[in-house]
Copies of this chain bind each other. A is one copy, B any other.
Amino acid sequence: MVKAALRQGALPDLLGYRLRLAQQAAFRDFAASVQGLSPGRIGLLILIDANPGVTQSRLAEAVRRDRSTMVGVIDLLEGRGLVERRRGDDRRTNGLWLTRAGHMLLARALRRIAEHERRIASRLSPAERRRLLELLGKISP
Contacts and interface: CB of A to CB of B under 8 A. Distances in A.
A5 to B, nearest CB: 8
A37 B12 CA distance: 19
Nearest to A121: B15
Given A131-B131, A132-B132, A137 B7 contact: no
Integer count of this chain's copies in the complex? 2
A60 to B, nearest CB: 11
Main secondary structure of the interface of A (DSSP, over half): helix
Interface string A24-64: 11110110000000010001001101110010001100101
Contacts of A6: 47, 50-51, 54, 58-59, 62
A128 B132 CA distance: 10
B9 A47 contact: yes
Contacts of A124: 135, 138-139
Contacts of A24: 64, 140
B22 A139 contact: yes
A73 interface: no
A92 to B, nearest CB: 16
